[in-house]
A and B are shown apart, each in its own frame.
Chain A
Amino acid sequence: MMFLSIRQLMARKKQSLLILLGITIGSAAYVAISGMMLGFQSYMLEQLVNNEAHIRISAREEVLTSEEMASYPGAAHVFWQIPPSGRKDSTRIEYPLGWFNKLDADKDVAAYSPQVVAQVIYTQNKITRVGRIIGSQYERQMKVTNIENYMKSGSFKDMGNSGNRIIMGTKLMELMGTRLNETILISTGNGLPQAFKIVGSFETGIKTIDEGTSFISLADAQKLRGTPSEITDVAVKLFDPDLAKNKAESWKTNARDKVLSWQESSAAILSVFKTQDIVRNSMTVSIIIVAGFGIYNILSILVNQKRRDIAILRSMGFSPKDIVRLFFNQGMMLGILGGAIGLILGFIICNIMSHIEVVPGRMSGPGNLMIISFSPIIYIKAFGIAVITAIVSSIIPARAGGKLEPMEIIRSGGQ
């Protein structure tokens, strides 16, 4: 019946082209919108997953209680006029070795990096700014994150394992008015500020990191904080980032410290992605529904117009199934052709968009170009949606055509 289906489609060029256009626009819109949104999402995810730890183990901020005071040795002989209370002045991982042993033994763990994370005050001449320093061993840190990829000047290795050398976010350097090889003062609020030489800069594209974070060696961070041999965090990288949530849950059991997966710490961003997905899918479904109704309408009208043809075909021995195929094929051809053209059009649009320069930091990737996803899944889905729409909207009129009996048509004079 394919021959006849094609001839009938070709005989109604204008109608067929309009429906084809509807499906094409629907598929192209899905590809373009998905390419744009998923490109942005995948870039953001990559930043979230690879710039930060997959799982972060950090010291719990603890508050002293009267029960805790009573548990100290000799507490029975001490009488407080005003008992100590409030938050402990230093947060630390109480038993890091236990974590290290656990992480070494876990086959899902790719690498981990002990860290000291602290709030600091940056001072440069009269400019001061509050930010964060991450003290780490550069070899371990480079295994946990891909920070080296985002270095704008110098190498992450230049930080060394001591010697007061600092690697700063480019935006933070701009805000502080400093340059490479200059010195900046850093203080934790306790004790005197210490001078650090800027040996490198990085830019991740995430404003909060680039404007407030610096890296120094673990030993320097411990010295700055006045807590030698203590660590506050362990950043963990897994072989499979998707395991992070379940792994963190299992580690939380009986752990004194906080264990947070990247999914939990980025929950707000991930929920934005979900909203984007809903908007994207709703828009596409709306376009496709319009195209689907187009196919349905055209085929319904066609079945009515072709009642005589159905009668003569049935009298020649064509079966009801053949008649269903005659009309169904037409819907399918529109779906497949429209879907395929839509994919090509969508790809071209995505390709053009991927060369558009945008405002740095806003949906921009390396080179300030728009980040577009060319994932095959998008194209498979777009094509699938087009074909499924065609199937659903063709089957009802096609089956109606198949149910027509030749005598009904002949008795009604073929009308």
Chain B
Amino acid sequence: MIEVKNIIKRFPNTPAPVLTGINLTIEDGEFVSLVGKSGSGKSTLLYIMSTLDNPTEGEVFYDRKTLHDFKPEEIYQLRNRNIGFVFQFHYLLAELTAIENVLLPARKANEVEQRRKFALELIKTVGLEGKEHRYPGELSGGEQQRLAIARALVMEPKYLFADEPTGNLDSGNGMIIMELFKKFNREKGTTIIYVTHDVDFAAIARRKITLVDGMIQTLTS
């Protein structure tokens, strides 16, 4: 469970805070979309929830433990074991093949061989079977994003954060990504929280959080 309490986020040289008094609880296994106009603070909230950014004020709790109490090494381990990220730009490592990219988080955990079979299954699931040894440059944009999802899931994380995962894709590829999210949420119980400004993709989530000017306007289920 992730709890967000009284989060305020200000950036230097910006008069108004990006986030103002955000309170939010996300239960395990939820499928949540964060929506809002550009500059509404949805990506900032996602990164604060996912430990990549720090709030100016307020606290984030993981299973009732505040992130303030986590040592840096514990945060790195939390990211490695429990959190998966999917970015708008896939951020695959150009020097590594598809399978090597997927196994990168396992490399940090020294579990490359243990997770190789699962990584190959994931590649198959995201529809890239037979392309395991291709480099990112040899894959299409949609394929690269699907590969990034496989990489985010290889450690079987509890939470998957995605920042506009379909933002750079056509609607067909976007739908494939959303279907993958639904599948992993349904079959593995992965908590999925994603940012989108696409109304149709936002509607796929079981819960939609709309941000307006740094504040939660609506929580719809």
Binding site for B on A (CB under 8 A): 3-4, 7-8, 10-11, 308-309, 311-319, 322, 406-407, 410, 413-414
Contact = CB atoms under 8 A, between A and B. Distances in A.
26 contacts: A4-B95, A7-B95, A7-B96, A308-B89, A309-B91, A312-B85, A312-B91, A313-B104, A314-B79, A315-B79, A316-B79, A316-B80, A316-B85, A316-B104, A316-B105, A317-B76, A317-B78, A317-B79, A317-B80, A317-B81, A317-B109, A319-B72, A319-B73, A319-B76, A410-B52, A414-B89
Interface in B71-105: 72-73, 76-81, 83, 85, 87, 89, 91-96, 100, 104-105
B47 interface: yes
B145 to A, nearest CB: 13
Interface of B: 47, 50, 52-53, 72-73, 76-81, 83, 85, 87, 89, 91-96, 100, 104-105, 107-109, 163
B166 to A, nearest CB: 17
A-side interface mostly: helix
A8 B108 contact: no
Contacts of B78: 317
Given A316-B85, A407-B47, A308 B53 contact: no
B113 to A, nearest CB: 13
Given A315-B83, A317-B105, 7 more contacts: A11-B95, A312-B87, A316-B85, A317-B77, A318-B80, A410-B87, A413-B89
Given A11-B94, A312-B91, A3 B105 contact: no
B93 A4 contact: yes
Nearest to B54: A407
A311 B73 contact: no
Contacts of A315: 50, 52, 79, 83, 85
Given A407-B53, A410-B47, A322 B108 contact: yes
B152 to A, nearest CB: 9
B89 to A, nearest CB: 6
Given A315-B79, A316-B80, A317-B79, A414 B96 contact: no
B56 to A, nearest CB: 13
A318 B72 CA distance: 11
B171 to A, nearest CB: 23
B54 to A, nearest CB: 9
A318 B91 contact: no
A318 B85 contact: no
A407 B95 CA distance: 23
Closest 3 CB pairs of A and B: A317-B80, A317-B79, A312-B91
B95 A10 contact: yes
B81 to A, nearest CB: 7
A313 B93 CA distance: 9
Contacts of B108: 316-318, 322
A408 B50 CA distance: 15
A322 B109 CA distance: 12
A8 B89 CA distance: 20
Contacts of A319: 72-73, 76
Contacts of B79: 314-317
Nearest to A313: B104
Contacts of B85: 312, 315-316
A305 B17 CA distance: 32
Contact of B52 (A3, A318, A406): A406
A178 B47 CA distance: 98
Contacts of B163: 410
Contacts of B47: 407, 410
A309 B136 CA distance: 13
Nearest to B93: A309
A4 B100 CA distance: 10
Contacts of A10: 95
B65 to A, nearest CB: 17
A370 to B, nearest CB: 46
B116 to A, nearest CB: 14
Which of A308, A315, A322 has the most B CB atoms < 10 Å from its CB?
A: A315
A234 B100 CA distance: 78
Nearest to A312: B91
Contacts of A8: 95
Contact of A3 (B73, B77, B81, B107): B107
Given A316-B80, A410-B52, A308 B107 contact: no
Contacts of A410: 47, 52, 87, 163
A407 B107 contact: no
A414 B93 CA distance: 13
Contacts of B96: 4, 7
A411 to B, nearest CB: 9
A104 B108 CA distance: 72
A314 B85 CA distance: 11
Contact of B76 (A11, A311, A318, A407): A318
A93 to B, nearest CB: 78
Contact of A414 (B52, B91, B109): B91
Nearest to B163: A410
Contacts of A312: 85, 87, 91-93
B104 A407 contact: no
Which of A8, A313, A317, A319 has the most B CB atoms < 10 Å from its CB?
A: A317
